[in-house]
Amino acid sequence: MSPDRPRRADAQRNYDLLLAAAKKIFAERGVDAPLDDIAKLAGVGNATMYRHFPTRSDVIVAVFSDEVAELCAQGEALLGESSSADALFSWLRLFIAHVAGKRELALAVADDRGAQQSGLFASWHKAMVSAASALLATAQHDGVVRADVEVLDLLTLANGLSVTGADPVRVERLVALIRRGTQH
């Protein structure tokens, strides 16, 4: 099907069911879980599964793309918070959890997609930088974060926290240190 043409309602419902099932299965059992288990959990046949996702890579990319879109949507929703600093650092916590929890998916995309991976990662990176930039700009405009703080510096620090495997209490302490270091 052409990416520009909308899906029929039943096809969209099946796609959504498969995506939700894939998220659940991958979270519980990893990206190597049998694809047939995804179809079974979604309540559709294998042919429907493979019509939407011809390869394991297609499922993994769809799940990771959806996870990135959700993270960015959460950033957009936080823009309406009364405290722009709280919004920024709430999103950074979500980003840290995303990177830590979705690492296997990201590595699977890198393993399975080869040359296509750079375009995918570039679009995901751009979306996350955009979400973080909007939150940072708002906090800087409100005067609660220093003007010299750069979005890529914040994301690099947050990414570093996500790969440490630190317990949630330590991560929270380290985020608090970053926050204090960015305030006036």
pLDDT at 2 over 60: no
DSSP-derived secondary structure for 15-56: HHHHHHHHHHHHHHH-TTS-HHHHHHHHT--HHHHHHH-SSH
Residue 102: exposed, middle, or buried by beta-carbon count in 10 A (0-12, 13-18, 19+)?
buried
Same domain, 15 and 94: no
pTM of the prediction?
0.85
Task: State the pLDDT at residue 118.
Answer: 67
Q: What is the pLDDT of residues 10-61, one digit of tens each?
A: 889 999 999 999 999 999 999 899 999 999 999 999 999 999 999 888 999 9
Distances (CA, A) of 115 to 110, 120, 144: 9, 10, 41
Domain that holds residue 174: 57-182
Task: State the pLDDT at residue 103.
Answer: 77
Residue 118: exposed, middle, or buried by beta-carbon count in 10 A (0-12, 13-18, 19+)?
exposed
Q: How far apart are CA 11 and CA 174, in angstroms?
A: 45
Same domain, 104 and 164: yes
Task: Select from 66, 60, 55, 23 the least CA-distant residue to 42.
Answer: 23
Q: What is the pLDDT of residues 152-181, one digit of tens each?
A: 999 999 999 998 888 899 999 999 999 999
Among the three residues 29, 54, 79, which one is the final residue of a domain in this structure?
Answer: 54
Same domain, 83 and 127: yes
**Encoded tokens for 15:** 């796609």
Average model confidence (pLDDT) across the chain: 90
Q: What is the pLDDT of residues 104-153, one digit of tens each?
A: 777 777 655 455 666 788 899 999 999 999 999 999 999 999 999 999 99
Number of domains in the chain: 2
Same domain, 122 and 174: yes
**Encoded tokens for 164:** 């440490």
